[in-house]
Amino acid sequence: MNPLLLEKFKDEIRPNIKSSTKQPPWMDSFFYSTSDPYTFLDLELIDFAKWIQPTLEEKYVRLRIYKNIQECITKIYPLAKVILFGSNSTDSNLPFSDIDLSVVIKNLIIDDTLEELYFIGRYLKLSGVISQFQVINAKVPIVKATDSGFRLPIDIGIVTQLSDEDNDLNYLAYMERNRNALSRYPSMYPVLMYLKMLLCQEKLEVNYEGGISSTLLFNMLLSVCQINESTTKFSPSKLLLNFLWYYGDIFNPMQCTIGVANGGYLIKNDNSDIDNTPKFSFIDPVTGNASHFRGTEHFKFIKKCRAWNEKLRIELQYPCRSKLDKLLDMNYIFSLNTERIVLKKLFQTDQEQQNKNSENQRWNVVANFIMAQTNAIVAKRNMQKSNLPTPGKYKETLKVKLTKLDKYNQNSKPKEVY
């Protein structure tokens, strides 16, 4: 869709969207048929997860963006693979979160990764796939771009692969492990989505800016689930409260690292691969390596966990009213809900246009087929007419035949005898 038409369309439909400023969009009503505050919080967390999870339209839009980028990348690197990873692979992404892509290039040595990323960004922009881009020189350099159609953020990184397919195997192992974890601990998903929204509104979700990345948050929550085998029976409300309590008051990132391979915590000094630094880290269960994260905002996250935990426990004293909206910026939530409705209408308009184009194309094919058949019939008839003698020639031929017939008849008459 043309970006100019996109903005015009947004301005036209946004004033017509009516959003309630009284009740949260994930609740049909303020009340659930229960007097237990923990059960109330359980139901509200589940409804929040249902509301915030990617819709069919959002999945289609992200898949289409992925296909467009994949098509461009394979023109530059024919042997490259474009992998969609992160929360997008487990449907645990927020509506307007980044689309994380990794370009796996085989049998190619890259001398300057930043220069290569800049080249990819320029090519995607010239191709019309993205509207703008910026190369971020982080621990893992990326191209941070914006989709030209629906204006969604995109992160693109490069991975070189010289011989085997270890990267593919690692990627599949990560996906399988995350899906198994969400299946083993059903309470993880609603709590994970709510925590992501909390981090997003506090600007704590960007990894290269010192925040808590999606990968780190997933492993932190998984570690809490693994601490006690009985956590498989944890309800979403108790898992959320335990998470906030652990990382707000118990866990010390300067002394411990997160280990999710066998559950529980590891002491940093017990592992020589982990340096004693004041930042969150965890042992990668697939590769066994220590992963470190910048800790500029990690202490702010710890303080936020304490504050959220205290405020949430106070709210549990008041039954039959929403709990989650007390921690969220509801102006941001209503704005997000409006943008999701805008995106849905954009998707519907885009689909209608595609269907109209497909219908016109189908009828053009039918019309061309009918025209071709008609032309073939006319040509056949013309050919048959060209083989027939003209009226003048037909008359001359008939006269010749009659003359020959007269001569034959005269010669065939018996001679008279006198």
**What structural domains does the chain harbor?**
1-24+333-378 (no CATH), 35-51+185-327 (1.10.1410.10), 54-90+92-183 (3.30.460.10)
Tokens 């229960």 sit on residue: 34
For residue 347, what pLDDT is reported? 74
Q: What is the CA radius of gyration of the chain?
A: 36
CB 216 within 8 A of CB 208: no
With a threshold of 0.85, does the pTM exceed it?
no
Q: What is the C-alpha separation between 305 and 243, in angstroms, rounded?
A: 8
Q: What is the C-alpha separation between 112 and 107, in angstroms, rounded?
A: 16
For residue 309, what pLDDT is reported? 92
- Of 219, 217, 222, 246, residue with least CA distance to 232: 222
For residue 310, what pLDDT is reported? 93
- Bridge partners of 118, per DSSP, are none
Q: What is the C-alpha separation between 197 and 204, in angstroms, rounded?
A: 10
**Secondary structure E strands in 86-231:** 99-106, 130-136, 142-147, 153-161
Mean pLDDT, contiguous 10-residue spans, the chain (418 residues): 44 45 71 80 91 88 90 88 84 87 78 85 90 85 88 87 55 79 90 93 78 85 80 80 91 80 68 60 71 67 90 85 86 83 76 65 62 66 56 54 62 51
What is the crossing angle of helices 236-245 and 214-227, to 10°?
Answer: 100
DSSP 368-397: HHHHHHHHHHHHHHHHHHHHSPPHHHHHHH
Which CA distances in Å does 415 have to 39, 175, 404, 408, 411? Answer: 131, 113, 20, 14, 9
For residue 80, what pLDDT is reported? 86
Amino acid, single-letter form, for residue 237: S
Q: What is the C-alpha separation between 53 and 96, in angstroms, rounded?
A: 11
Amino acid, single-letter form, for residue 393: K
3-state helix, strand, coil in the chain (%, to 5): 60, 10, 30
